[in-house]
């Protein structure tokens, strides 16, 4: 199993088998700390969530079912301007 990095503001996922850019099933493991508020009836709601760690275990293409065939590619226009606006 190959580790797939998370997309960034300048990149996105692409299936190398079929070219899909929009639909993926992502299996991830997370360790989180949550602040849970219970109302007077006992119904819980999460008011704060802090992700301590997160690992993507696999990414599967929804179109062709390919696993471990996902790559990072540039988003359209991501290289047009840098953070200084030039």
- Residue 86's pLDDT is 46
- pTM, whole model, 2 decimals? 0.68
* Mean pLDDT calculated for residue range 38-43: 96
Cα–Cα distance between 69 and 86 in angstroms, integer? 35
What secondary structure letter does DSSP report for 10? S
Cα–Cα distance between 4 and 70 in angstroms, integer? 7
């Amino acid at each position: 199993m190959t580790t797939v990095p998370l997309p960034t503001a300048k990149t996105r996922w692409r299936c190398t088998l079929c070219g899909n850019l929009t639909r993926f099933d992502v299996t991830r493991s997370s360790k989180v700390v949550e602040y849970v508020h219970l109302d007077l009836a006992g119904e819980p709601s999460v008011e704060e969530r802090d992700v301590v760690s997160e690992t993507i275990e696999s990414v599967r293409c929804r179109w062709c079912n390919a696993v471990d065939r996902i790559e990072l590619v540039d988003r359209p226009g991501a290289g047009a301007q840098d953070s200084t606006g030039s």
